[in-house]
Structure 1
């Protein structure tokens, strides 16, 4: 029989020391009797972990045991950003299961920052069901893509040309094939916002399919987001396999602040396949500032 039993447990990682049990006391421990303790701890680091259990009793007698184990990375998360002309930010998150077996993804959500309002594009609008089904099984080494649209809650444009914005964090919950629960939160995701200046160009109409050597047209919108009236000169640069049928260097009508004009442009395709529309240059006649618009859209050309 021993008395004054004291149990302590701590967890050491490469960056911190955590006390899991401190001063768990029992006045008297009879022969063959045990002192049991269940430890719950959410592991938030990968790498080497050491669990140290210490028992003290009676007149200062003590002993320790060390339990060393490795915590491996369960998921590989990669993110890509695309900023549209409207300032909406699209986030693609690629989640790969790198555990030893299949897992069930119970929750994948984006908790956005105050800069953005998030729209989850991974559900059907009709019934809000996941596009991956009610039971979302991800096999070992398999990857799944999630897509989110983030709309600015405020005007992101300022006189600073480039600024870093906090987008938010991804929150992922899953269960293993034995029902064990896993939880992962990414660090704060960030994207670079580039101020495109006072003139914006966006596409309004474009045919999906056109035919070789047959002229086609598309319509675009030119917006003035400055607080001054702007007069624009449009220049059209040469492209491969697409030829402009419009006058380059033409002065367009004036655009008042916060307003826009619509412009119809014409092209003749000289090559088959997927062709990229580029080479639109808009120049502010007053300031001589030039805005370049490339990779505007793609059109498929048939023979």
Structure 2
């Protein structure tokens, strides 16, 4: 990658440093008899009719199309060994072009500043920076320690590295401030542009089942080389915990321990290869009530690292992954304590907790138990007043209270229909989920 020399004594040359690639050749297969005979051996009918010639080609004559016909070229492309299909002669080829640069890679460049004039230049100050649409990054500045001199026909070489973190057009700006042979101070700017493309795409699907969120990620390879995924980790946002779900695999205990120590990378083939990942997310149980109310639908980000065939590394962090908006109830009612032994006909207490999950004072409340179906009497009912009145509950605060119940049947019975009513707002909240208890005889 070069730029115009202009009228300056110096000029920059920028070359990309990257690993070589395998040379892949179409295998040229030939019959061993081609080394002993020429193609014109069949032109002489007398030679073909001799008794020695059919015996010479006996091994090659088994698959001829017609009786008595000899075809030494029939099996020339038949693969006799699995390695014949590789087409790899063992040679490596140096890059012949600047090549594609992908997001997440390290752009490594070999920069050479050459003196093509007939005089020596002195006090050369070199600056190199990367310019993108968002920022400018200084990679080299020799202002405090200029290059003393570059003689005629000489050069000054150095290597620069930059982790590519943005897509789109990048400009590598190289400048030199120097003193030429006549003592004049000259300024040489040169710029080199290259495009950064995306190596892969991450498509996600989010499904929520009750309190569990499932995240499916499909990673597709857009490069021309295979990608070996060393790490595809989902980093959950605050208050979320994640578990990676994998297909059931049956390995011995030794193999399982080995796989924990050394996890082979997952291959995603070039030109559109894909691989799917599945994660299970839950809200952390220890999060505060306030965080529940102010919960965001940001689930987290992906941390992805990989390497190519010859070990060139790459790493990416995706944008935040969003899930379904988190909806929280204004109040939360739950059973805290239930007696271990419940006797039929004998009153018992259950302890409940009421939590205000809003930023304002709520209440007062009425608590009661619905009577259920007219034709079917409930096995567990309230013992005493049908309704209980609770005072105000401050923002993000909670209060405990007891409910006096009595069971009228033996066996496994359900506590159902415990309902909360906001007297001020005239609002009825969803009943408490059913709870099963065992009722024993006295």
TM-score where L is the length of structure 1:
0.62
CA contact (8 A) 1:116 1:150 kept: yes
CA distance in 2 between counterparts of 1:68 and 1:263 reads 76
2:276 to 145, 152, 163: 145
Partner of 1:8: helix, strand, or coil? strand
CA contact (8 A) 2:130 2:138 kept: yes
Q: How many residues align?
A: 236
The equivalent of 1:193 in structure 2 is: 326
* Structure 1, unpaired ranges of 5+: 201-223, 236-245, 265-281, 294-303
Residue 100 of structure 1 and its aligned partner are, at CA, apart by 2.4
TM-score where L is the length of structure 2:
0.44
CA distance in 1 between counterparts of 2:281 and 2:152 reads 64
CA contact (8 A) 2:234 2:300 kept: yes
CA contact (8 A) 1:106 1:136 kept: yes
CA distance in 2 between counterparts of 1:66 and 1:56 reads 15
Give the 5 Å matches for 1:174-185: 174-185=306-317
Give the 5 Å matches for 1:128-277: 129=259, 134-139=264-269, 140-151=271-282, 152-155=284-287, 163-191=295-323, 192-195=325-328, 198=332, 226=354
CA distance in 2 between counterparts of 1:27 and 1:77 reads 50
CA distance in 1 between counterparts of 2:375 and 2:125 reads 86
More helix by share: 2
CA contact (8 A) 1:158 1:195 kept: no
Distance 1:110 1:250, change over 3 A: farther
Q: Name which one, 1 or 2, has greater alpha-carbon Rg.
A: 2
* Structure 2, unpaired ranges of 5+: 1-119, 335-351, 356-364, 383-399, 402-411, 422-427, 434-442
Residue 229 of structure 1 and its aligned partner are, at CA, apart by 10
2:243 corresponds to 1:111: no
1:68 to 189, 193, 197: 193
CA distance in 2 between counterparts of 1:34 and 1:19 reads 22
CA distance in 2 between counterparts of 1:155 and 1:92 reads 25
CA contact (8 A) 1:118 1:148 kept: yes
CA contact (8 A) 2:419 2:430 kept: no
Distance 1:35 1:90, change over 3 A: same
CA contact (8 A) 1:2 1:30 kept: yes
2:226 corresponds to 1:102: yes
Residue 194 of structure 1 and its aligned partner are, at CA, apart by 2.1
CA contact (8 A) 1:75 1:96 kept: yes
2:151 corresponds to 1:30: yes
CA contact (8 A) 2:226 2:309 kept: yes
2:207 to 82, 85, 95: 82
CA contact (8 A) 1:231 1:254 kept: no
CA distance in 2 between counterparts of 1:144 and 1:254 reads 56
Distance 1:161 1:149, change over 3 A: same
The equivalent of 1:289 in structure 2 is: 429
CA contact (8 A) 1:117 1:153 kept: no
CA distance in 1 between counterparts of 2:417 and 2:326 reads 22
CA distance in 1 between counterparts of 2:175 and 2:308 reads 32
